[in-house]
Amino acid sequence: MKRLILWCVIAFTSMAAIGQPHLQPKNYEEFAKLLSVQDSQKSLSSRTLSILSGRIPETTLERYINWHNIAMETTALDHTPVEAGSGDDPRRFAQQLGPHRASYAMAIVHVAMFEAVNAIHQTHQSYVGLPPVNGLNNSVVATDRAIAQATRDTLISLYRYQEPRINALFTQDVARMPKPPAVPQAELDAGAKVGSDAAKAILVKRAGDGADHMEPIYGVDYTPKPCGGAPCPEAWSPDPISNLTVALGAKWATVRPFVMTSAEQFRPAQYPKLDSPHYLAAFNEVKQYGADGTTSATDRRDFQTFEGLFWAYDGTPALCAPPRLYNKMALDFALSRKSFMTISDYAAYMARINVAMADAGISAWEAKYFYQLWRPVTGIRNAQGGTTADPSWTPLGAPATNGRGPNFTPPFPSYPSGHAVFGGAVLQVMREEFKGDFPFTLISDEYNGQNYGVGDAQPRPSLPQSFVSFSHAEYANGRSRIWLGIHWQFDADAGIAQGNRVGSFVVANSFKKLP
């Protein structure tokens, strides 16, 4: 027993560190400047405080969705620098900054939510080995209380500087639940314990998993692997436009996967040689269609610009990174199909989606820093092989939505595309879950009528986009990065295939329904 208590103390000390910002001071200031909120968006932080306002959830599914949305807004706020003059705002942004850390955090939260539901309903294999709780008979009030507790506890562990906000939302939700004598106090108490146990179980399982490290600085504690004693000609280097010096995710290959057997399990094959026709075609395409249209001429059409922005979610204020968009896509589609009959099925599905993304992030970032390929902004300015250099070529760039900008190239290597790996993993889970390749419509927060491009006086309009199939969305998601000038097409092609393999592996090896 003493050993168990000591292990739990060590585990929770480790997870408390996970809730600290992982940017070194220099990089923290660089991101704070790049992502500083526009004057037109000074209400961004307050937006997220009203999630639970409105009608009281009438079903357990509605409560689950509320807490899912709270988690999504928590990661969005984590990518939103504290506004000047905000006074009593206790936040520090960047506790789980970037696609790799955001997907990791959301996986932990959704596993806890699943385990809280599953311990009561006992319909699926437990991921963490949490024993079933007998005698609750699928109690609605116990399940509701368990979901709230599990989500609250994991969020606070991961985002400790948002604790006052999370606790306020938790207190509000618990106050809205039925009370004795309408429901037994014992069921409320049991639900609270189940939720707490579910959160503890996944936090203990992830303790010491390699995620608790500072992100390295290029040229200080990260240098590209050499080719014959010197950096390879095509080795990745920081974006010369934003001048972000962080090598974001350079150590992420050391993080223990959630389901995969190793970080390199699904590493793609080598990118095309710089003197190959394949590379030349990709080079010429992004040079022609990915330029900003101001400093560098472009043939990109309006619908291509729209597609590039629609999928962006490049770690910017109020939007977060792409895992937040893919969460929306996955849950909205499930709800539109009305395919699941129980809260257990929804919880297992969303756990699968988020664990697939967490492993996709580990897989993608392992490959990125194994190959260390340059981005188009440096590849075109310093062209090699049979390509022609343009020393001033400027991409449209990842949009610094709601920030002051400039638009930028993400601060990690190009191959494979993280967007493509994440999207490939999620859409493969959806294919296998729904047993088909279905049409759907998606509203991106980049175009939901509320968020602003750099320097825009008005928000971008609300423009839903429809896709004829999951495969169509998968392709458009990968292709969008070429229109922004921040990826090569072979990044997308390899990334989709890699993500598909990750998604299939997660479905085959986790959260299985009991006979």
Q: Provide DSSP, 70-138.
A: HHHHHHHHHTSPPPTT--S----S-TT-HHHHHHHHHHHHHHHHHHHHHHHH--B--SS-PPP-TTSTT
**pLDDT computed for residue 338 by the predictor:** 78
Among residues 44, 182, 12, 33, the alpha carbon closest in space to that of 94 is found at 33
pLDDT digits (tens, 9 = 90+) for 436-449: 999 999 999 999 99
Task: Give the DSSP H or E segment for 45.
Answer: helix 44-47
Instruction: Confirm if 423 and 477 have CB atoms less than 8 A apart.
Output: yes
The rounded distance, in Å, linking the Cα atoms of 111 and 429 is 16
CA 352 – CA 171 distance, rounded (Å): 28
Q: Work out the number of other CB atoms within 10 angstroms of the CB of residue 497.
A: 16
pLDDT of the residue at 232: 86
Classify each residue of 75-93 as buried b or exposed e, where b means 16 or more C-beta atoms within 10 Å of its C-beta: bbbbbbbbbeeeeeeebbb
Whether the Cβ atoms of residue 459 and residue 451 lie closer than 8 Å to each other: yes
User: What is the structure's pLDDT at 37?
Assistant: 82
User: For residue 109, is it left (φ>0), alpha (ψ between -120 and 50) or beta?
Assistant: alpha
Mean pLDDT taken over the chain: 92
The fold of 43-206 is Vanadium-containing Chloroperoxidase; domain 1 (1.20.144)
pLDDT of residue 385: 78
Query: What is the rounded average pLDDT of the residues 335-346?
Result: 88
What pLDDT sits at residue 88?
A: 57
If one counts every other C-beta atom within 10 angstroms of the C-beta of residue 296, the result is 18
Q: 342-377, pLDDT tens digit by residue?
A: 999 999 999 999 999 999 999 999 999 999 999 999
Q: Is 368 helix (H, G, I), strand (E, B) or coil?
A: helix
Give the residue from 28, 36, 95 showing the smallest Cα distance to 316: 36
What pLDDT is stored for residue 445 in this prediction?
96
Express each pLDDT in 165-181 by its tens digit: 999 999 999 999 999 99
The token pair at 322 is 């792409």
Q: Residue 416: what are its φ and ψ, rounded to 5°?
A: -85, 175
Q: pLDDT (tens digit, 9 = 90+) per residue, 86-125?
A: 555 666 788 999 999 999 999 999 999 999 999 999 999 9
Say whether pLDDT at 52 is over 60: no
Look at 231 and 307; give whichever has higher pLDDT. 307
Residues of the chain with CATH 1.20.144.10: 43-206
- In the predicted model, what is the mean pLDDT of residues 248-254? 98
Tokens for 444? Answer: 């991106």
Which of the residue ranges 18-27, 143-152, 456-465 would you say has the lowest mean pLDDT? Answer: 18-27
> Topology of 226-508 in CATH?
Vanadium-containing Chloroperoxidase; domain 2 (1.10.606)
Contacts of 44 (CB under 8 A, 6+ apart): 37, 80, 83, 317, 318, 402
pLDDT digits (tens, 9 = 90+) for 21-50: 799 999 999 998 988 887 655 555 555 545
What residue spans in the chain does CATH classification 1.10.606.10 cover? 226-508
What pLDDT was estimated at residue 391? 97
Q: Which residues pair with 354 in a beta bridge?
A: none
Please report which confidence band the pLDDT of residue 464 belongs to, taking 50, 70 and 90 as the band edges.
very high
**Choice among 140-144, 337-341, 488-492 with the minimum mean pLDDT:** 337-341
pLDDT the model gives residue 245: 97
In the chain, the amino acid numbered 335 is L
Mind listing the pLDDT tens digit for each residue in 187-218?
999 999 999 999 999 999 999 999 999 999 99
260 membership: H or E segment, kind and range: none
SS (H, E, C) 370-392: HHCECCHHHHHHCCCCCCCCCCC
The pTM (predicted TM-score) of the whole model is: 0.95
* Cβ-contact 357, 426 below 8 angstroms: yes
DSSP 382-451: T--TT----TT--B--B--TTB----B--SS--SSPHHHHHHHHHHHHHHHHHTS---EEE--GGGBSS-
Instruction: Using pLDDT thresholds of 50, 70 and 90, give the confidence band for residue 55.
Output: low
Mind listing the pLDDT tens digit for each residue in 217-232?
999 999 998 877 777 8
**pLDDT greater than 90 at residue 15:** no
**Single-letter amino acid, residue 377:** V
484 neighbors 396 (Cβ within 8 angstroms) = yes
DSSP state of 227: E
CA distance 276 to 282: 10
Instruction: Give residue-wise pLDDT tens across range 376-430.
Output: 999 999 998 789 999 999 999 999 999 888 999 999 999 999 999 999 999 999 9
